[in-house]
Structure 1
Amino acid sequence: MRTEYFESFDGTRLAIHRIGEGSPVVMLHGLFSSAEMNWIKWGHAQKVADAGFEAIMLDFRVHGQSDSPTDPDKYPANVLVRDVIAMIEHLAFDSYVLGGFSLGARTTLHAVANNLLEPERIIIGGMGTSGLGEWQKRSAHFKRVIDEFDTITKDDPAYYSRQFLKSQGVNRVAARLLLDTMPDLDLALLSNVTMPTLVVCGDEDRDNGSAQELTDLLPNAIYVETPGNHLMSATKPEMGDAIAKWLAETV
Structure 2
Amino acid sequence: MPSFHNGAVEIAYLDEGEGDPILLVHGFASTSNVNWVYPAWVSELKKNRRRVIAFDNRGHGASTKLYDPEAYHIPTMADDVSALMDHLQIERADIMGYSLGARMAAWLALHQPQRLRSAIFGGIGMALIEGGGPGENVAEALEAPSLDDVTDPVGRTFRAFADQTRSDRRALAACLRGSRSLMTRDEAAGITVPVLIAVGTSDEIAGSAQALGKIIGGAEVLDIPNRDHMRTVGDKVYKTGVLSFLSHRP
Instruction: Quote the Cα distance in structure 2 between the aligned partners of 1:142 and 1:208.
Output: 16
Partner of 2:220: 222
Query: How many equivalent pairs are there?
Result: 246
TM-score by length of 1: 0.89
CA contact (8 A) 1:126 1:201 kept: yes
Secondary structure of the equivalent of 2:135? helix
Specify the alignment match of 1:168 in structure 2. Answer: 165
SS at match of 1:165: helix
Quote the residue 1:231 is aligned against: 230
Residue 68 (str. 1) matches residue 65 (str. 2)? yes
Q: Please list every run of 5 or more consecutive structure 1 residues that lacks an aligned counterpart in the other structure.
A: none
Whether 1:205 aligns to 2:228 is no
- Runs of at least 4 residues of structure 1 off by over 3 A? 114-118, 151-156
Q: Distance in 2 between matches of 1:89 and 1:177?
A: 27
**Post-superposition offset of 1:74:** 7.3
CA contact (8 A) 2:199 2:209 kept: yes
Structure 1 residues 197 and 140, CA gap change in structure 2 (3 angstroms): same
For 2:138 and 2:97, the matched residues in 1 are separated by 19
Match of 1:56?
A: 53
After superposition, residues 28-43 of structure 1 pair within 5 angstroms as 28-43=25-40
Name the aligned partner's letter for residue 89 of structure 1: D
8 Å contact kept, 1:124–1:199: yes
- Measure the CA separation in 2 of the matches of 1:154 and 1:63: 22
Could you tell me how far apart the structure 2 residues matched to 1:144 and 1:208 are? 21
One-letter amino acid matched to 2:230:
L
* 1:142 alignment partner, one of 134, 138, 155: 138
Contact 1:42 1:237 (C-alpha < 8 Å) held by counterparts = no
Write out aligned runs for 1:1-251 (5 A): 3-8=1-6, 10-70=7-67, 72=68, 75=71, 77-78=73-74, 79-115=76-112, 118-134=115-131, 138-148=134-144, 150=146, 152=148, 156-157=152-153, 158-182=155-179, 183-227=181-225, 228-250=227-249
C-alpha separation between the residues in 2 aligned to 1:241 and 1:38?
17
Q: What's the TM-score once normalised by structure 2's chain length? A: 0.89
Letter in 1 for 2:170: V
Preserved contact between residue 114 and residue 192 of structure 1 (Cα < 8 Å): no
Root mean square deviation of aligned Cα: 2.2
